[in-house]
Structures are given as structure tokens and as C-alpha cells.
Homo-oligomer: A and B are copies of this chain.
Amino acid sequence: MFGNIHHFFLQMIPGLTDEAWQAFADRLQVKQYSKGEELSSAERVNHIISFIEQGAVIAFNVVDGKKHIYNFFFEREYVSDYESFLTREPARYGLEAIEDTTTIDLHYNDLQQLYLSHPVFERAGRMAAEAQFIRLARQISSLLAEKPEERYRNLLRDKPQVLQRVPQYLVASYLGVTPEALSRIRKRISL
């Protein structure tokens, strides 16, 4: 049970004892989502942080009826409206499975108790926040310094699997353009 995530945490936390791991594992819950189902909704506080065992998830929000995609998440990644999870305020975006997805979930309250009972998790929490931070810093850099076409080229280069698994109109939103624009960018490049 939880072999995947156990391995993941052992790599991430050098000082993780069996006892601490067990305390952690005791609080985990497995969940199943079908394609199209929401893991969590915008406007509601997100109490869960999920580790994706299998599948794919998008983070999105809806402004003026338009769905904006912030990110894609796949196997062996965390997913959460991390901001809502941290601030206890209503989430700014929702999470939706775009494939059938299995997650391993940890509840906010359980995490707080773990922080207290096993400070080794403070380090893991800090490193997770830091990793998220780095990801966002790069995304901002891309949005400020690159044109949509460059962003697409770089996505092709860095994460080609995204293009295989994610519908194009969602990729377009992630890149900050309309589906029509992305279609034309692809045409332009292929010529």
C-alpha cells in the first residue's frame, strides 16, 4: 500500500523514520475520479492535498464565463489549490480530472497535526512549497518574456507529453491564447 508515494517521500525526506512514515500513511486516503469529475471546486476552501497515483488533472478558474487553465498535473505530482489550502480562504481555482485519476489524499488538519508530532514534515512542507514556488516563477517568466508562439515551442521541447494527453484547447488556455490562435501557431510552425 502506498508504495509509490512511500518511495517518493523517502527520496524527499532523508531523515524519514519508519514511525513517522507510518503516522503519515495512517492518515492517507485513496480516491478515484472519473474523467471530467472535479476534485475540488473554486469558491470553496480546499482542505485536501492530493498526490496523483495515476491520471491527469487541470487547475482552472472561470472568469467572465471563460475557463482559464493554470496548470496540468500528472502521476507523482502533488495537486491542490495550494493557495486555498494554505490560507483557508475560498479557492481561486478548481481541480478537474481530465483522465480517470487515482489520488492519495491528505487532509489539512492531519497535516497540521503531523507538523506538530513529527517536525520532519515541516521540512517536507517547506520543500514542497519551495518547489511550487519555483514552478510558478518559471511560469511567470514565460508569460512575461515570451510570446505565445515561443511558449508553445518551449512546451513542445520541455513537456511533449502534455501535448499528447491534454486537449489542445486546454493547452491554448494554459499558454494564454485562444484555441484558434494555437491552431494557427501550429500551422505556422509545421510549414
Task: Name the residue among A66, A70, A173 with the largest chain B CB count within 10 angstroms.
Answer: A70
Q: How far is the CA of A121 from the CA of B140 in the complex (A)?
A: 28
What chain B residues lie within 8 Å of A70 (beta carbons)? 137, 140-141, 144
A83 to chain B, nearest CB (A): 5
Asked whether A83 lies within 8 Å of B133 as measured between CB atoms, the reply is: yes
The copy count of this chain in the complex is 2
Chain A binding surface, main DSSP class: helix
Number of A residues with CB within 8 Å of any CB on chain B: 33
Q: Given A129-B126, A134-B87, A61 and B140 touching (CB < 8 A)?
A: no
What chain B residues lie within 8 Å of A141 (beta carbons)? 61, 68, 70, 92-93
Chain B CB within 8 A of A125 CB: yes
Per-residue CB contact flags for chain A residues 120-141 toward chain B (1 = under 8 Å, else 0) read 0011011001101110111111
